[in-house]
Structures are given as C-alpha cells and as structure tokens.
Amino acid sequence: MKKILSVTQFLLNGLRKHENIRCLHTGYISHQKQFVLTKDRYPHIKRGNYTELNDNHVKFFKDLLGSDRVLTDPNDVQPYNTDWIKMVCGTLVCEAGCVLETLDQELEKHNLMMPLDLGAKGSCQIGGNISTNAGGLRFLRYGSLQGNVLGVEVVLANGEVLDCLNVLKKDNTGFHLRHLFIGSEGTLGIVTKAALQCPPRPKSIILAFLGVEDFESVLSTLKLAKEQLSETLSSCELIDAPSLDAVNKYLGIKSPIDEFPFYVLIETSGSDVNHDEEKLNVFLDKAMTRGIVIDGIVTNEPSKMQNIWQLRERIAEALLHTGAVYKYDVSLPVQHFYEIVPLLQNELKDTSATVVTGYGHIGDGNLHVNIAAEEYDQDLVNNVIEPFVFKWVSEKKGSISAEHGIGLKKTEFLHYSKTPEAISLMKKLKNLFDPSGILNPYKVLPLH
C-alpha cells in the first residue's frame, strides 16, 4: 500500500500544479485566463480506459490519510509549495514543487543563481521545468537542463521511488537514467526532487537594446556579439516590429528608441563592471561603424533594464488582447530563422488572422511565431496554419517544438521532427516504464 500511496498522493497534490505549468507552455493560449481542466478544454479527446476522479476517490484518501492531509480546494492546491532540503558548493537540492523565482531568490543569498530563467518564473515549478526541459532566456550562456540537472528523484508508474538524486558533478556509474525524465513531460515517471548545479551570480549585468534595419544585420549583430562579448554574453533576443507594436499598443510600454524593422536585445553578465562595459563599448563601436546597428541604448540601471525586458517578455501577453493567439515554438538553422514569418504573413493575408509576429531566442536558433486573430478558428489552425508551419520547419530540418514540448496537441506531428525508428523506440520505452499507460496519458506519443 505504501508504494502506491507515494504516487497517488503526489498525483492528488501534484497534477493540478503540473496542469498549471502546462498551460503556460503548450500549444496556443486562448483568451481564457482561469484554470481550466483538460477534460473541459479538450472535450473531444477520445478517453481511454481511465476513470475520472470522483468523490469516492477523495473519500478513499481522506479515510486513509485523514481529511486534513488531502488538499482539494484549488486555492489550497495552487500555491502549495514545498521547502528546501540542502545546498552545498553550488549544488541545489530541492523538492519538485519549488517555484523557480523562489529558488533563485534563495540562491541570491549565496551569490549563486538558477541556470535557467523564463517569463513564467514567478509561477512555474522546478519539477515542471525539468519534466518539460524548459529553455528560456539565458540558455545561450548556461546551457540546457540536460546539462545542469545533476540528479532527480522520480516516482515510477509502479509506485517505486527511483533515487537518482546524485549531487556530484561527475558520476559515470551505469546508464544516465535521469536524462530520460528530463523533457519526457511526466510520461515516464514523476519528478519529485531535483539536484541542479548553479553558476555564480554575476556582479555586473548590462543591457543593450538595438535597432536594426534588416534580418541580415540581425545575424551580423549576433555573430559580432559572440566574437566580442564572448564569455560575458548572457542573452541575445530578437523582437520584430509587429511584436513591439503589440506591446506598445496593448500594454502601453514604450520603446526607448525609434522604430525599426528589428530590435536586438543583448545582455552581458560578468564579474567586473568595468571590463564588461569596455567589451560592450568595443562591440557597439564596431557594430555602428560597420552600419550593422543603427541606433540603440545601453543601461545597467535595474529599473530601466526591467522596462526593456518587458518589451520582450510580454509580447505573448500583449497579443492576447487581440482575441486569440496561435503560438508556435520552433528551432531553425539560423540562416532560415525569420523566413517563415513573411511567408506566413503572405499565406494568411486573406484569413481571419490579423497579425503574424516573430521573436525569440535568436542566440539559440529558437523562434516564437505568434499569429493573432479576433476569434479562435479551429479550421484555420487544422487546415492552413499547422500543415504549413510543421511541413516548412521539417523541410528546413528544424524542430517543430524547440522548448514547449509535444504535450497533447502535437503528438500526431511528432514524425515531422523524429524518425520512425526513434518514435518506435520511444514507444518501447513508454511500454517498459509505464505498461498500463497511467502516467500523463494522451501526451507526447501518438496513439498509433
């Protein structure tokens, strides 16, 4: 009984939290802001042999655990969070329910930082970040969670607790099991604890917001930034004009520079402000002399930096004011990075779509394509947008999901980014880890 309990207990407290993360991550966000159950959001899903949670289940657990140990009220469940275990030499060990921003604030006391940062940091939890292999704004500098997660504790489908909570930077004893749970979206096991390596917190952060005339100059800016800023470069983000317009128009946030077709946001993080400034000045001097960058501002004042970051981080939120937004998140070879945006603008010009924007982590080859419309139109999605986007990305050898995962809605498109042999092996792994298919059903793998 104890073993099964471990899973179920977590499911009761944990599933809603996971759901909560997913709605920030997956597919298109509609204009609903309230928490909506999967069964309500996707009423047409063909349900397999799973029961629905009913009062008898809740009663069973209340009888077993005592009613004060089972949380059911959404207000109780949502902010439910767990606490620290320990932290030694740049290694953080925590429970899966810790909020990313809380972890980062705790690490600040030790002059350390989390190796990932994303717009949803105030609400997303590290267990969800790991299960979805979250990327984010500083991937360019600190790399992937596959590189930064040292260990995990996982509850398997059979109720067994798998302790791979290694805290050592190097451990080559046997297969590296933890990586199977990073990015498999809870379908192979449920992450309950994690150990991460955390870099030193930078003493100096400087932000530059630059106006650029064409996409070729964007690429030249990125190349020059890598060369000149090198070990201090911590972010390189692209914003196109329609994205910035939306943030201006719907959220009233002003750009600090004149209008350009493209804007590049460059952040440096280092240990010596004078050195970092000098490197940035050399970079800007070269970029402007060569005519790559036309205008720009540079600041290290926290409030000004926060304003500039909002121009990038709140694009998706701004576009929601138009009504509905179809969101895609793709990786592309950098030379093809922006091509898809004008192609889509042309493809959708006589449809209900009002704006097509492109922005994202150009330093990592990861583009967010957002299509805004007054109303959600499922036919447009199914017959026009998705066939076009996925086919085009696949032809350019990109990834149809760079950081947002597969979830429920992209399972049938997995073949655009993975070979039949790879999908077959994934299915065998799923069957090995979860033969009854009870872990996050309908997700990641296509049914057939």
What DSSP assignment string belongs to 60-106? HHHHHH-GGG---SHHHHTT----EEEEETTEEEEETT-BHHHHHHH
Tell me the Cα Rg of the chain: 23
- Taking the complex as a whole, the smallest distance from the CB of residue 256 to a copy of itself amounts, in Å, to 27
Q: Give the number of residues written for the chain.
A: 448
Q: Which of residues 21-50 bind a copy of itself (CB under 8 A)?
A: none
Contact flag: residue 88 with a copy of itself (CB under 8 A): yes
Piece of 53-61, 117-125, 171-179, 252-260 that binds a copy of itself (CB under 8 A)? 171-179
Do residues 134 and 166 lie in contact, with contact meaning Cβ atoms separated by under 8 Å? no
- Pick from 13, 125, 129, 232 the residue near a copy of itself by CB under 8 A: 232
- Pick from 63, 108, 160, 301 the residue near a copy of itself by CB under 8 A: 160
Q: Which of residues 342-381 bind a copy of itself (CB under 8 A)?
A: 361, 364-366
Contact flag: residue 109 with a copy of itself (CB under 8 A): no
Contact flag: residue 182 with a copy of itself (CB under 8 A): yes
Q: Which is nearer to a copy of itself, 15 or 167 (CB)?
A: 167
292: CB partners within 8 A, 6+ apart: 212, 217, 220, 221, 224
209 token code pair: 């917001």
Contact flag: residue 292 with a copy of itself (CB under 8 A): no
Q: Which of residues 320-339 bind a copy of itself (CB under 8 A)?
A: 331-334
Contacts with a copy of itself by CB under 8 A: the residue count is 87
Cα separation, 59 vs 50, whole angstroms: 19
- Site mask, a copy of itself, residues 257-286, x = CB under 8 A? ------------xxxx--x--xx-------
- Taking the complex as a whole, the smallest distance from the CB of residue 75 to a copy of itself amounts, in Å, to 31
Cα separation, 243 vs 260, whole angstroms: 12
- Taking the complex as a whole, the smallest distance from the CB of residue 442 to a copy of itself amounts, in Å, to 14
Do residues 115 and 198 lie in contact, with contact meaning Cβ atoms separated by under 8 Å? yes
The DSSP bridge partners found for residue 163 are 153
Contact flag: residue 89 with a copy of itself (CB under 8 A): yes
Q: Is 303 exposed, middle or buried (0-12, 13-18, 19+ CB in 10 A)?
A: exposed
The DSSP bridge partners found for residue 239 are 263, 359
Cα separation, 52 vs 38, whole angstroms: 12
- Site mask, a copy of itself, residues 188-227, x = CB under 8 A? x-----------x-xx----------------------xx
